[in-house]
Amino acid sequence: MFCFLLTNCRLSLYNEAMKTITKEFTCTISYDLSRLGDPERLLFFDIETTGLSAKRDLVYLIGCVYLKNGVWRLKQWFADSAEAEAELLVHFFLFASRFSVLVHFNGAAFDLPFLKERAALHHTPVPGRIPESLDLYRELRPLKKLLGLADCRQKTLEAFLGTGRKDPYDGGRLIRFYWQYLRTGETALSDALLLHNEEDVKGLPALLSLLSYRDFFSGEFFPESDRLTVAAPARRECSGAPEDPSLPLPARMLLVTCRSAACRLPAPCRFSSEDCLICAGENILSLRIPVFEGTLKYFFENHADYYYLPEEDRAIHKSVATFVDPAHRKKASARTCYQKHAGLFFPVPGDAGEGRPVFYSAYRKNPPFLEYTEGIFLDFDFLHKFLLATLSK
């Protein structure tokens, strides 16, 4: 899915304090870059610092990758001395001003504020036009549960994609490498620093393929089938209330299939919500929703307009209750203002049932249910309400 081939490696020296490294490489990405703008106006970048405080720590290395004439290029600015930081910042900001979008990983919280504060401390001019920003961490963090990830670090996301790394070091150890390099000038140390940054910044375009999941689940879906299975599952699954004895066991499973209008996924995924099991692959999304057969309650809104009939265990409107012997009726409360209804029901998340009769096993006890009617999920508007409520949990 994603590979590199280094070619035409070139190392130039601006002066004795700052090195600039430029390389060309090949990069295969499954995501359509034009969804983010002109592909050759995107700049992916990452910085390396000697700590987390912009007031006292330095930026010693900035790396970026970009497309030029259809060829991927890597550019790195490396401070050979602590005094080179100001020059490094000038070169980066001038170079970045040529692009329309800066793409980074958690750069909105760290990289960009750090660079601006260090530039201000050096009285380094910053170009008036700062490109737009796309923070891949913020875009991909909501997908953690969906993709079954332990965390949302860049290396974790790369492992999910199957992207390998040669760099074995973490940022904390590399800080010690940099101070040791300034004392000794050992090439092996600078090579380790440059490799870590190179793999970080080259990994950013690969992460774009994960945006397919964001685009997929936030896009429109067109219903294709709504099929009720005959066989009942062996256990109560995805019921929304697995230990609730007031609910019947699921009698059937509703299988719903819809097609994405947004994009195709790079790899299949599946996850469970409280109300259903969701599977996605290619451009198809399928839902497995438990359907219960039994009797639930529909609660009327304005209980002051109703009477409760204890012997019949139901509420009736006061206009009808006038014909009932007062000994067999009493004013309804919010908890007794209901009618029972038998049928097939499925749990509904959030406000997806808005505009339809909603049923409960007891007063306002979650989950709420809708009555199943054939083809209900073939209704475009209802399908989108259901998906939006399910995916936003």
Of 214, 239, 266, the domain-final residue: 214
Q: Of 214, 230, 246, at which residue does a domain stop?
A: 214
Identify the pLDDT of residue 7. Answer: 33
Residue 155 placed within a domain: yes
CATH of the domain at 142: 3.30.420.10
* 324 inside domain: no
Q: Say if residue 72 is in the same domain as residue 120.
A: yes
- Tell me which residue of 122, 124, 130 sits closest to 98, measured CA to CA: 130
Q: Do 198 and 232 belong to one domain?
A: no
pTM of the full predicted structure?
Answer: 0.73
- Domain assignment present for 311: no
Same domain, 174 and 240: no
In-domain check, residue 365: yes
How many structural domains comprise the chain? 2
16 CB burial (10 A radius; 0-12, 13-18, 19+): exposed
Q: Is residue 115 located within the same domain as residue 227? A: no
Residue 171 and residue 192: Cα distance in Å, rounded? 11
Token pair 């070139």: residue: 10
Last residue of a domain, one of 170, 193, 214: 214
Shared domain check, 241 and 206: no
The CA–CA distances, whole Å, from 124 to 210, 326, 346 equal 36, 87, 62
Shared-domain flag, residues 295 and 382: yes
Please give the Cα distance from 13 to 77 (Å, whole number): 10
The domain of 284 spans 219-300+337-391
Amino acid at 169: Y
Tell me if 321 is assigned to some domain. Answer: no
Residues 257 and 152 in one domain: no
Residues 116 and 259 in one domain: no
**287 and 247 part of one domain:** yes
- Residue 323 located in a structural domain: no
140, 34: one domain: yes
pLDDT at residue 108 in the model: 95
- 92 and 205 together in one domain: yes
Those residues of the chain that have pLDDT short of 50 are 1-16, 232-243
Identify whether residues 76 and 153 lie together within a single domain.
Answer: yes
Residue 277 belongs to some domain of the structure: yes
306 located within any domain? no
DSSP 141: G
